[in-house]
Chain A
């Protein structure tokens, strides 16, 4: 008597091979190629640039005398995905001014922090720049 119905025979090794292939496909689809280390270096470079320019251009002197406009201009010139918060304080960490780049709001998750010292009129001040990527923009 001949059998008329047809079908597949799925063996254990076929299941293993299929699982391996599906896992490979999943890996290929979800692998991220974003160069995070270089992006971090880019942010670090720009942060150090910002601190240097603030210190050497005399803009911090304006901030100490009460005018924060010049510092805000520099923070605003950073690329859109970059967020920054600049703090000027005395050496004992008493804060004089905290200036945020507009549109960032709060502090991000992966924050880079750079410090500097600034001498103005014989008084030494501490400068701190926190920077991170704004995930919504970048």
Chain B
């Protein structure tokens, strides 16, 4: 077969049907090798990232062990570092943001997928995509000059007067704090929830809707009791994705959270988040333990988002495969 391969190179459907030399002459093996090196470098970078985070945080890991995660003291002068206030701040702001963003995001996604005519839905989705492209620091800018004054003057006093009996809405109203950070985060993650949920909802087979309507369900009943449950896992995936974004979000949070390591039930209280403390103190960190404690915070953040992103991907894939009988829009 050697003669045919030289006259008709590349014609064979099987990889082994040509000699190595002829492939090399066509440059296939070289191209394969070069592109492989580029692809492998992606893996290398990822491995290196995890390795660096691990190695560069060795000091505090040995000094504090797991106590790092549950200690409240963050005192560079005493070389004592505990991550609890930051972990608390990160989780609380993310939780507040989800409480606000999930209903709004899913509502908007239902409108885009179920109700709006395709053209309007596409135009709105275009705006949502643009919204997702707005950089974090711009949200921070608006947070500082618009959301904070608004919170201080109107929203926080208002909440205090109406829901002040709850522990969440007590204490002085500074404008900055967990609640403000949560609200800004909510605005930032809504586009992610909408985009992914809309796609998942669109992948629900048409006959599911029609069956519900044929049984006499109203439009809302078919949406809420049939379509949404069908897409449930995927919507959960979009929420996890949003949660991972909210946890890792740095600039906007840094600008509005108040940057004080506190643990308080009140959402009006200024706080601090993992990403914010890294952003603020990294360049000022004197001493190896201080700097490496910040890097260990980075490691904690990495692990949190890693787990959430993994879960999100699993859920989204699970739904789109189940709904794959009908082509996605």
To the question of whether A and B form a pair in one complex, the answer is no
Chain B contacts to A: CB under 8 angstroms: none
